[in-house]
């Protein structure tokens, strides 16, 4: 923030937060049950951001919250927050992108709620991509799940008065931090 106030160029920053990219979506959406790669971007789909520095100088931290409605089945199976579809799996195989570490790199999204169809669900996102190679340039953020059977973690995201006339409009809020190493 101080960099923007004083018009410091990004190259002059030696520590702390380099850049913050904001994502907000308040559109109520029905979430379909899916399996495999289909669900990996069902909650946040193809949000792009620009990383200003190379991998040696900075890393990405993603935080946020998604409001949902209903929880028809297993909410935690294969939940993942991915950048450029890296590290979404739960096996010892590397992801689709080259030069990334093996092992489970999904996760980063946590479910809070109960097993009731008409109740609220909350997803908390907190994922560091410090161990992955992400150089400067445009990158894609996706949030969803990767399960071996048709499941969904909620019935709707960003519920509103359509679901219950007492509800206010919910919104998904995500912050993508670029942090100096």
Residue 95, Cβ neighbours under 10 Å: how many?
A: 19
108-147 per-position pLDDT tens digit: 888 887 767 677 889 999 999 988 888 999 999 999 887 7
Confidence (pLDDT) at 75 = 60
Residues in the chain: 181
pLDDT recorded at residue 44: 93
Q: Burial letters for 57-81: b for 16+ Cβ neighbours within 10 Å, e otherwise?
A: bbbbbbbbbbbbbbbeebbebbbbb
- pLDDT of 92: 45
- Nearest Cα neighbor of 121 from 160, 74, 153, 83 is 153
Residues 6+ apart with CB under 8 A from 2: 8
- pLDDT: which is higher, 146 or 22: 22
CA distance readout (Å), 124 to 8, 100, 106, 174: 32, 25, 14, 10
Q: What is the pLDDT of residues 93-110, one digit of tens each?
A: 444 445 544 444 567 888
d(CA 110, CA 62): 13
Q: How far apart are CA 27 and CA 161, in angstroms?
A: 12
Query: Mind listing the pLDDT tens digit for each residue in 47-92?
Result: 999 999 999 999 999 999 999 988 776 666 778 888 887 765 444 4
Q: In this predicted model, what pLDDT tens digit does every residue of 57-67 receive, in sequence order?
A: 999 999 999 99
Please provide the distance, in angstroms rounded to a whole number, between the alpha carbons at the two ends of the chain. Answer: 18
Domain boundaries of the chain, sorted by first residue: 2-180
């Amino acid at each position: 923030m101080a960099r923007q106030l004083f018009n410091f160029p990004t190259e002059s920053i030696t520590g702390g937060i380099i850049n913050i990219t904001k994502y907000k979506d308040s559109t109520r959406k029905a979430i379909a049950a899916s399996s495999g790669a289909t669900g990996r971007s069902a909650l946040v789909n193809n949000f792009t951001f620009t990383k200003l520095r190379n991998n040696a100088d900075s890393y990405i931290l993603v935080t946020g919250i998604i409001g949902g409605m209903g929880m028809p089945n297993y909410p935690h199976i294969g939940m993942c927050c991915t950048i450029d579809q890296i590290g979404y799996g739960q096996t010892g195989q590397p992801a689709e992108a080259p030069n990334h570490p093996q092992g489970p790199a999904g996760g980063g999204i946590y479910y809070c709620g109960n097993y009731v169809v008409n109740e609220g669900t909350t997803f908390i996102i907190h994922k560091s991509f410090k161990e992955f190679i992400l150089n400067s340039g445009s990158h894609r953020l996706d949030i969803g799940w990767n399960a071996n059977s048709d499941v969904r973690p909620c019935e709707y995201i960003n519920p509103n008065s359509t679901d219950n006339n007492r509800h206010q409009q919910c919104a998904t809020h995500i912050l993508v931090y670029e942090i100096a190493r």
